[in-house]
Amino acid sequence: MNIEVAKPQAITHRFSLGLGLTNECNLACSFCYRDASRTDRLVIEQVQALLGALPVRSVNLGTGENGMHPQFKEILAYLRRQPIKLTITSNGHSIAILEDEDVQGFADVEFSLDYPNREEQDAQRGAGNWDLVQQQAARCRALGVSVTIIAVMMKTNYDRLAQIAEVAATFDAPLRVNVYQAVRTDTFALTYAEYWTGFEKLLAATDVIAIGEPLVRAMAGLAPRLGGCGVATVRVTPRATVQPCVYWPGKGADMADLLTAGEAIVETEPFVAARSIPQACLSCDYLASCRGGCAGRRRLLGTLPDPDPYCPILRGEKKPISIRMAASRDLPKLDSACTTIVMARR
């Protein structure tokens, strides 16, 4: 196999832990990566064990709609007592069911918004979702809790993300963008042209807080980052399995492996694979920043030993991107995944 494994880069911060308390959701979005074929949940004792085994700096509650977990408020109360930055990704429901005091326990609340208007958002996610997000985002801001809007860049919205950033700006919120990964279907997958058009249009109209999408980071001329998948992020699924990336295919390691290994979990096979660099990339001028592109995407496509399919160098092209940096923000997910965070330009 033509592949090389990079050693974990030296980092001084602790882990970013992603917890999927449940895969249940009140919505049924066709582009969602969660497995809705069965119901799985972590229990509070597992959450407590995880934080006892791993040095954690931040916890994000994601995967399903965590407010549907019967122990949600009990787990939230426990997490609020820990010396961590706590965030949640929600369609609005999990925040709506909480008292103000509980909402104020979050360092940041991420609301999912994939379209810049009510009609398209509700058509994709369900009637009333646009208004719910607007109401709960405004509530968070009134309570002094920062807000991030998160969007999935996909075939149906790739050229309008800057408009979503404008919506986010009404809450003084950044927009965090993840590229769609074909976990369940490739219906929403971007073509090569759509991928680059999407980022070019977004970055031309916004200021950059962080770029974690490896290829874009490289083309923007940014320095290598220290964290990221396989190094400083750990995902624990509702099935109590451990993965280096939320999109990583396969069952994953048992949570018991993490409880035994602690920080050494990054030396297990999935984490080593997430740091792998294709042989074809070793002589590339952009290796330090790109490292072969998104390993999760390569693994998901069954092409882990090969460069990222969105790589322009493979096609004899370059995609130099001019960016303007925004003022830095203290966001727990700044360096935790292949994500891009921007602010609408004012």
Q: Which helix (H) or strand (E) holds 122?
A: helix 118-125
CA distances from 75 to 43, 71, 87, 231, 277 (A): 8, 6, 13, 26, 38
Q: Is the pLDDT of residue 63 over 50?
A: yes
CA–CA dist 41, 69 (Å, integer) = 7
- Residue 202 has what pLDDT? 98
Q: In the predicted model, is pLDDT for residue 164 greater than 50?
A: yes
Number of domains in the chain: 1
Examine residue 124 and state whether it is found in any structural domain, yes or no.
Answer: yes
**pLDDT at residue 142, as a whole number:** 98
Q: What is the mean pLDDT of the chain?
A: 91
CATH code, 334: 3.20.20.70
Q: What is the pLDDT of residue 4?
A: 53
- Residue whose entry in the numeric block shows the structure tokens 């492996």: 257
Least confident of 54-58, 99-103, 218-222, 229-233: 229-233
At 173 the three-state DSSP class reads: coil
What local confidence, expressed as pLDDT, does residue 251 receive?
A: 79
Structural contact between residues 154 and 197, judged by C-beta atoms closer than 8 angstroms: no
pLDDT category, 32, cuts 50, 70, 90?
Answer: confident
297 in a domain, yes or no?
A: no
Judged by DSSP in three states, 54 sits in coil
Residue 300 belongs to some domain of the structure: no
The verdict on residue 304 lying in a domain is: no
What is the pLDDT, as a whole number, of residue 337? 72
The label of the residue with tokens 């991030």 reads 148
Domain that holds residue 331: 14-276+321-344
Bigger pLDDT: 3 vs 292: 292
What SS3 state is found at 5? strand
User: What is the predicted pLDDT for the residue at 11?
Assistant: 41
Polymer length in residues for the chain: 346
Which helix or strand (DSSP H or E) is residue 172 part of? none
Can you give the pLDDT at residue 8?
Answer: 46
The string of DSSP letters for 212-278 reads: -SHHHHHHTTPPPPS-SBTTTEEEE-TTSEEESSTT--S--EEHHHHHHHGGGGGGSHHHHHHTEEE
The single-letter DSSP state of residue 17 is E
The whole-angstrom distance between residue 207's C-alpha and the CA centroid of its chain comes to 19
How many other β-carbons are positioned within 10 Å of the β-carbon of residue 333?
A: 23
| The pLDDT of residue 94 is above 90 | yes
Q: Are 147 and 137 in contact (CB under 8 A)?
A: yes
Q: Per the structure block, which two tokens stand in for 81?
A: 């007592």
Is 91 within 8 Å of 128 (Cβ atoms)? no
Q: Report the alpha-carbon distance of residue 66 to residue 72 in Å, rounded.
A: 7
Take residue 176 and report the two structure tokens written for it.
């965090």
Separation between Cα atoms, residue 341 and residue 177, nearest integer Å: 6
Contact 240, 200 (CB under 8 A): no
**CB contact set of 186 (below 8 Å; sequence gap of 6+):** none
Q: Per-residue pLDDT for 261 more than 70?
A: yes
Q: Say if residues 188 and 31 touch (Cβ distance below 8 Å).
A: yes
| Domain-located, residue 301 | no
Residue 330 inside a domain? The answer is yes
Percent of the chain at pLDDT > 70 equals 94
The average pLDDT across 186-214 equals: 96
Question: What's the whole-number mean pLDDT along residues 326-342?
Answer: 79
**Cα Rg of the chain (Å, integer):** 19
CA pair distance 125, 26, nearest whole angstrom: 10
pLDDT at 106: 97
Q: Select the more confidently predicted residue: 331 or 90.
A: 90
pLDDT digits (tens, 9 = 90+) for 284-332: 999 999 999 999 999 999 999 999 999 999 999 999 999 999 987 777 6
Q: What is the pLDDT of residue 34?
A: 65
Q: Is residue 299 part of a domain?
A: no
